Amino acid sequence: MRLNLFKCIYCESVGHIRAFLVKLVQFLRRNWLRITVFVTFLICVWPNRYAPHYPYIPTDEIYDELVEKTTQNVSHQMAGKLSCDYNEVIKENHFMYREPYISTLLDGSDIRLGGEWMPSKCAPKFSTAVIVVYRQREQQLNAFLIYIHNFLRKQLIHYRIFVIEQYDQKPFNRAMLFNIGSVYASQLDFPCLILHDVDLMPMNLGNLYVCTQRPRHMCSSLDKFRFNLLYHGLFGGVVSIETKVFQFINGMSNKFSGWGGEDDDFYERIKAKNLEICRFGPDHSQYTMLKHEQELPSENRLAFLRNGSLRYNTDGLNSLVYKEKEVKLHKLFTHVLAIT
Ligand code: BGC
Ligand code: MN
């Protein structure tokens, strides 16, 4: 009796399963097109999807691409010391964007006034001026300074943080502020510039904050763009460029006030001098963007972009006019207040 009952239940469930499978197959047959479109859409919008489809320097070739150069005072101070080793940092490429690095400044006693640091145990091979353009984003600046000092000290390079603040009410002129920053950095003999937005946090320690032989787009794998590179000519966010190359291309245009276009113009300037840019791979170029409202694109950016090539030699470092309101040396950064 019991056995019969069991059999019966068993038969019923097999019947149900079979019926279900038949229905499923019918459903798939009828809707295959919709399903394909839906799955493709899902793949496209899937968060964290890598698109490593851009040319980049393979990890084991990164070291050979770096430009070894320091400020003169560092090479004097470090004479006789063993050079720092960077191969391990590049290869191990630790993921850094995690506690405690993002929330607390870890032992800041070795950071010099003005936001300068160099390793004490070995002689650094690189000196970098990190130029951060800024206005009215105090929380972001705070978060950036804490994290970037924790991050950069682990890279064993010599660096100094410059914050260039636009001290007026005109539309934000990102490119002009970078031009201004380059003036202060080159006065202090920095051979390498990193032009940095305040809201971008590098996540991979192997993304060395030093210059490569070619100007480098450093944030090709940004979470805001689901870690995709939007277009090959994207050259905004964070870039590194040798000071002498920045000067050679006459810096950036001073004309792009308001959001957008200035980085595209910068890219065109580089190409116009027959120079190429480069990138590290996506796993060395991940950044996270701190949240903020999207600015309205400026109306005249496209017009300036179109006729940009007429102005490369006359609009830039050689036409830079601004007023220095003040330069303050803070514990974590050199603060330049500029009226544009
Ligand atoms: C703008 C650039 C900007 C990029 C990514 C482009 O349309 O011209 O300035 O960096 O979009 O947001
Ligand atoms: Mn931003």
Work out the mean pLDDT of the chain and round it to a whole number. Answer: 93
The verdict on 141 and 248 lying in the same domain is yes
Q: 237 CA distance to ligand 1 centroid (A)?
A: 9
| Domains of the chain: total | 2
- Cβ neighbours of 104 (radius 10 Å): 12
The verdict on 93 and 110 lying in the same domain is yes
Q: What is the predicted pLDDT for the residue at 11?
A: 62
Q: How confident is the model at residue 13 (pLDDT cuts 50, 70, 90)?
A: confident
The verdict on 39 and 173 lying in the same domain is no
The verdict on 147 and 58 lying in the same domain is yes
Q: What is the predicted pLDDT for the residue at 75?
A: 84
Q: Which residues contact 6 (CB under 8 A, 6 or more apart)?
A: none
265 lines ligand 1 (CB under 6 A): no
Q: How confident is the model at residue 36 (pLDDT cuts 50, 70, 90)?
A: very high
pLDDT over 90 percentage in the chain: 85
| Domain stop point among 27, 45, 63 | 45
The verdict on 2 and 148 lying in the same domain is no
263 lines ligand 1 (CB under 6 A): yes
The verdict on 216 and 309 lying in the same domain is yes
Looking at per-residue pLDDT, the higher value among 329 and 76 belongs to: 329
Task: Output the domain CATH number for residue 218.
Answer: 3.90.550.10
Counting atoms of ligand 1 from 1, which one is nearest the CA of 262? 9
Question: 232-254, pLDDT tens digit by residue?
Answer: 999 999 999 999 999 999 999 99
- What average pLDDT does this structure show over 164-171? 97
Q: 304 CA distance to ligand 2 centroid (A)?
A: 21
Give the DSSP letter of residue 224: G
Q: How confident is the model at residue 1 (pLDDT cuts 50, 70, 90)?
A: very low
The verdict on 238 and 202 lying in the same domain is yes
The verdict on 237 and 267 lying in the same domain is yes
Give the separation between CA 213 and CA 135, rounded to whole angstroms.
Answer: 31
Nearest alpha carbon, ligand 1 atom 8: 261
Nearest alpha carbon, ligand 1 atom 10: 236
The range of the structural domain enclosing residue 24 comes to 1-45
Nearest alpha carbon, ligand 1 atom 11: 260
Q: What is the predicted pLDDT for the residue at 196?
A: 98
The torsion region of residue 156 among left (phi > 0), alpha (psi -120 to 50) and beta comes to left
Query: Mean pLDDT highest for which of 29-33, 45-49, 207-211?
Result: 207-211
- What average pLDDT does this structure show over 64-92? 94
Q: How confident is the model at residue 20 (pLDDT cuts 50, 70, 90)?
A: very high
Query: Please, how many CA atoms are within 13 Å of residue 19, restricted to the half-sphere of its CB?
Result: 6
The verdict on 190 and 291 lying in the same domain is yes
The verdict on 158 and 198 lying in the same domain is yes
Helix (H) or strand (E) segment spanning residue 68: none
Residue 216 has pLDDT above 80, yes or no: yes
| Domain stop point among 28, 45, 62 | 45
pTM for this one?
Answer: 0.86
- What average pLDDT does this structure show over 121-140? 97
Give the DSSP letter of residue 278: B
Helical packing angle, 174-187 and 262-272, nearest 10°: 60
Q: How confident is the model at residue 10 (pLDDT cuts 50, 70, 90)?
A: low
The per-type count for the chain, helices as H runs and strands as E runs, is 9, 11
202 lines ligand 1 (CB under 6 A): no
Residue 27's Cβ-count burial label (10 Å; 0-12, 13-18, 19+) is: exposed
Residue 47 has pLDDT above 60, yes or no: no
Question: What is the secondary structure of 183-221 as a DSSP string?
Answer: HHHHHTT-SEEEEEETTEEE-BTTS-SS-BSS-EE--SE
The verdict on 183 and 101 lying in the same domain is yes
The verdict on 132 and 276 lying in the same domain is yes
